Chains A and B, each alone.
Chain A
Amino acid sequence: MTELRLENINLRIGNKTIIEDLNLKIESKDFFVFLGPSGCGKTTTLRIIAGLVQQTSGDVIVDGNVINDLSPSKRELSLVFQDYALYPHKTVFENIAFPLRIAHTERQQIIDKVKEVSSFLAIEHILGKKPSNISGGERQRVAIARALVKNPKLLLMDEPLSNLDAKLRDTVRFELKKIHNETGITTVYVTHDQLEAMTLGTKVAVMNGGKLIQMGPPMNVFEQPVNSFVASFIGSPPMNILSAPETLKGVGAESGSIGVRPRAVAVTHDAKGEEYIELTGKIEGINLLGNEALVLMRINGESLYFSVRREQFDQIAEGKMKTVYVEKNRVYLFDETGQANGRLKAEDYAKTEIFGS
């Protein structure tokens, strides 16, 4: 039941601006995801919220109270560090129990709470071990258990899945979703993985270069990116941005660039004529991914990646010229500065509501 607001947060170190004019509101029970490339200031933003870094200007506001001057220990929040930060000299049990010991919780209650949270995260069997003797995935869970055990007002997580292998990442991602559903803790989650952002977030904030670029529910950000940066950052494989003059002329766009998502590309023509644009180029590479293939085509010196379903593998061959088709209302338009400028055909376009900017 905690809401968090950041108002005009700026952070300068030396003469370098690390965070610029950050404004946002994270509502109670949100699973709020900061998404952005490496070095864009995600960790720094979390550290400002946690009180480990003091912002140059602006306010951190929790439930209406400005907490700028509150030390980290008084902020009643938890932080799962990017690199776990387990206490190497303490057992897993003592690591998880540490916040409770500091709060002088009663002995039996400590045991009960640690047991409860560790059974929830399936790490009961390693409670007696030291962090050096458990696997990366287990360390991850221990760090999460330590963050949850004190029932924080706010749960902050900094790329908690980045050190796990792909399979474990899927498992833990589902667990995190489950934890959030069951506890309802307002969560702020940092990642550079758009898949995590899309699947976990109730809201996503895309950052770049210390600035907030776009914020909203994941699907809105996906459907209505405000500029070509967001467009090419969200979605996997990423959106193709094409700006060669010949290409633009060929599809009837005036200037700037067009964006095409790989899955919007069709290799066969459904005879709808006007509704489609045609792109012709040479197929330079095919990556088979099982039921799907990722194809690279060169068009006027630019790369276009697109997906082809298994049934249509016979339509493509490496080294051959090929014409592909994209529905006009799925072609994004961007102006010269990269700002979104609607779709090639603005049908359906207005249906989705735009959140934030």
Chain B
Amino acid sequence: MNNIGKSLLWYIAMIIVSIFVLFPLYLIMIIALAPSGEIFNSSPVLIPSTITFSRFFLVIAVYDFMPHLILSLETAFLVSGICLLFGIPGAYAISKMPKRLGYSIIIFLFVTQMVPEIVIAVPIARTMLILGLYNTAFGIALAQSSIALPMITYVLVGTFKSVPSRLSESAQIDGASKLQAFYSIDLPLALTGIYVAVILAWLFSWDEFVLASIIAPLHTTLPVLIYYEITRGVGGVQAADAFSIILMIPVIVLVLVLQRYLKSNVFAGALK
């Protein structure tokens, strides 16, 4: 009896949370799919009488969507790559430092974030111009990494700290060099955190607006494109809405692919 009551409560809670999370998404879907007459009046419907996909086709056809999508994907993967390339060794080193020192370094990393993005965006754009990286995916990725890298490093420090140092010590006793111990023990055991870091870096870049718009104003990423098109008034609010749904798809795919690797009990059986 008690058990049934408990699971009932549990289900009710889950349903409430689901509604809370999913209802706004539902609204966005409806706005993109419903006839405009049913949305833009004083009592918008919750269930439209018919649905139309025309706005999706419009967005893809009229907005010159593909090159921007490719640029956005390229940039997001570059940011993830750069963040891992520098974040993993950096975070591993910081995780092995004495607490005080490591903590100071992390604080120091976040100093760049104290300045509003827009302030550093212009000098960065100038530098990109000089380096020939203006209007390129690599240029945007470098600039975005300056914001994402401290955050990713911070996440990864936590990850590496959670790997018991006893395990890499054990590997060294078994004859492994520090580097071998790192890639055969610490790295595989930190994978869950690394996947989370990839998702975070990727999402950050996918959404990022200020740096992308200043470093690549001509050939730009999807969030900037959507802004341009809305301000130009092409297709109206409902087209923009359809666009934002398209913007969500890669995010969902990425999270679905990576979530299989997000394990909570990687250390089971290691100690005691």
A85–B269 contact, CB under 8 A? Answer: no
B174–A88 contact, CB under 8 A? Answer: no
In the complex, what residue of chain B is closest to A52 when comparing beta carbons?
B169
A163–B272 contact, CB under 8 A? Answer: yes
Q: Mark A130-147, 1 if CB is under 8 A from B, else 0.
A: 111110100100000010
A73–B269 contact, CB under 8 A? Answer: no
Interface 9-mer from B1-9, B66-74, B213-221, B260-268? B260-268
B171–A98 contact, CB under 8 A? Answer: yes
- Cα A77 to Cα B169 with chains together (Å): 13
- B185 partner residues in chain A, CB cutoff 8 A: 87
Nearest-neighbour CB distance to chain B for A173, whole angstroms, equals 19
A88–B266 contact, CB under 8 A? Answer: yes
A150–B271 contact, CB under 8 A? Answer: no
Q: A83 contacts the other chain (Cβ, under 8 Å)? A: yes
Q: Chain A: how many interface residues by the 8 Å CB criterion?
A: 31
Which 9 A-B pairs give the minimum distances between C-beta atoms? A131-B269, A132-B269, A132-B268, A99-B174, A85-B170, A88-B270, A83-B271, A102-B175, A72-B172
- B189 partner residues in chain A, CB cutoff 8 A: 88-89
- A139 partner residues in chain B, CB cutoff 8 A: 269
- Cα A163 to Cα B268 with chains together (Å): 16
In the complex, what residue of chain A is closest to B188 when comparing beta carbons?
A89
- Cα A150 to Cα B191 with chains together (Å): 29
6 contacts between A and B (CB under 8 A): A79-B170, A79-B173, A81-B166, A83-B166, A83-B271, A102-B174
Q: A185 contacts the other chain (Cβ, under 8 Å)? A: no
B166–A102 contact, CB under 8 A? Answer: no
Q: Mark B173-186, 1 if CB is under 8 A from A, else 0.
A: 11111101000110
- A130 partner residues in chain B, CB cutoff 8 A: 269
In the complex, what residue of chain B is closest to A47 when comparing beta carbons?
B169
Nearest-neighbour CB distance to chain A for B184, whole angstroms, equals 8
Nearest-neighbour CB distance to chain A for B134, whole angstroms, equals 44
- B167 partner residues in chain A, CB cutoff 8 A: 85, 87
Q: B164 contacts the other chain (Cβ, under 8 Å)? A: yes
- Cα A357 to Cα B137 with chains together (Å): 74
B169: contacting residue among A72, A84, A132, CB under 8 A: A72
In the complex, what residue of chain A is closest to B170 when comparing beta carbons?
A85
Binding site for A on B (CB under 8 A): 164, 166-167, 169-178, 180, 184-185, 188-189, 265-272
- B176 partner residues in chain A, CB cutoff 8 A: 73, 98, 102
Q: A44 contacts the other chain (Cβ, under 8 Å)? A: no
- Cα A242 to Cα B266 with chains together (Å): 53
Q: Mark A141-169, 1 if CB is under 8 A from B, else 0.
A: 00000100010000000000001000000
A84: contacting residue among B172, B184, B265, B272, CB under 8 A: B272
B166: contacting residue among A75, A78, A85, CB under 8 A: A85
A73–B175 contact, CB under 8 A? Answer: yes
B266–A146 contact, CB under 8 A? Answer: no
A73–B166 contact, CB under 8 A? Answer: no
Q: A350 contacts the other chain (Cβ, under 8 Å)? A: no
- A75 partner residues in chain B, CB cutoff 8 A: 173
A71–B173 contact, CB under 8 A? Answer: no
In the complex, what residue of chain B is closest to A142 when comparing beta carbons?
B269
Nearest-neighbour CB distance to chain A for B201, whole angstroms, equals 24
- A188 partner residues in chain B, CB cutoff 8 A: none
- Cα A232 to Cα B177 with chains together (Å): 44
B267–A88 contact, CB under 8 A? Answer: yes
Nearest-neighbour CB distance to chain A for B227, whole angstroms, equals 44
A81: contacting residue among B170, B172, B266, CB under 8 A: B170
Q: A215 contacts the other chain (Cβ, under 8 Å)? A: no
Nearest-neighbour CB distance to chain A for B268, whole angstroms, equals 4
Nearest-neighbour CB distance to chain A for B163, whole angstroms, equals 10
- A102 partner residues in chain B, CB cutoff 8 A: 171, 174-176, 180
A131: contacting residue among B169, B170, B270, CB under 8 A: B270
A146–B174 contact, CB under 8 A? Answer: yes
- A133 partner residues in chain B, CB cutoff 8 A: 269
- Cα A88 to Cα B271 with chains together (Å): 9
Q: A50 contacts the other chain (Cβ, under 8 Å)? A: yes
- A89 partner residues in chain B, CB cutoff 8 A: 188-189, 266
By CB atoms of chain A within 10 A, which of B171, B174, B180 has the most?
A: B174
A86–B173 contact, CB under 8 A? Answer: no
- Cα A90 to Cα B269 with chains together (Å): 10
Q: A271 contacts the other chain (Cβ, under 8 Å)? A: no
- Cα A316 to Cα B147 with chains together (Å): 80
By CB atoms of chain A within 10 A, which of B164, B176, B272 has the most?
A: B272
Instruction: Contacts A52-B169, A79-B170 given; indicate if A85 touches B175 (C-beta within 8 A).
Output: no
- Cα A176 to Cα B265 with chains together (Å): 32
- B266 partner residues in chain A, CB cutoff 8 A: 88-89
Nearest-neighbour CB distance to chain B for A77, whole angstroms, equals 7
- Cα A77 to Cα B172 with chains together (Å): 10
Nearest-neighbour CB distance to chain A for B162, whole angstroms, equals 12
- A98 partner residues in chain B, CB cutoff 8 A: 171, 174, 176, 184
- A134 partner residues in chain B, CB cutoff 8 A: 269
By CB atoms of chain A within 10 A, which of B164, B166, B175, B188 has the most?
A: B175
In the complex, what residue of chain A is closest to B267 when comparing beta carbons?
A88
Nearest-neighbour CB distance to chain A for B189, whole angstroms, equals 6
